[in-house]
Amino acid sequence: VNRFTPTPYIITRDEVQKKVFGLGYPSIPTMTVNEWYDDMVKNGRFSAINPSSSENSSNSNAVDEETREEQERARLQRWDEYKDHHRRGWGNMHNKG
């Protein structure tokens, strides 16, 4: 008489769930960072990096900075002129008591 005595076998819910559904997100990358960047450049979302354009961009950055400073100076001058012609508290006083 050959009797089989089963040994206890414990299945945890988490282990089985991980085997069936995975981790819930793709844990293995599908492409490298370089492949992703090349794909973005090909689709037109990023512009390709040109080493010669960095020299031109430094010149254009200086011009942009000068333009910004000019615009800021003009804005401050307009604000100063406005303050010269309008007293503090001057403006719409409708429904103020």
How does pLDDT run across 17-53, given as a tens digit for each residue? 777 777 666 667 778 899 999 998 999 888 766 655 5
Tally of structural domains, the chain: 1
Domain that holds residue 39: 13-85
In a domain, 3, yes or no: no
Cα-Cα-Cα-Cα dihedral sign, residues 27, 32, 36, 42: negative
- pLDDT tens-place string over residues 64-92: 999 999 999 999 999 999 999 888 877 77
Q: For residues 22 and 16, is the Cβ–Cβ distance under 8 A? A: no
1 vs 20, residue with greater confidence: 20
In a domain, 38, yes or no: yes
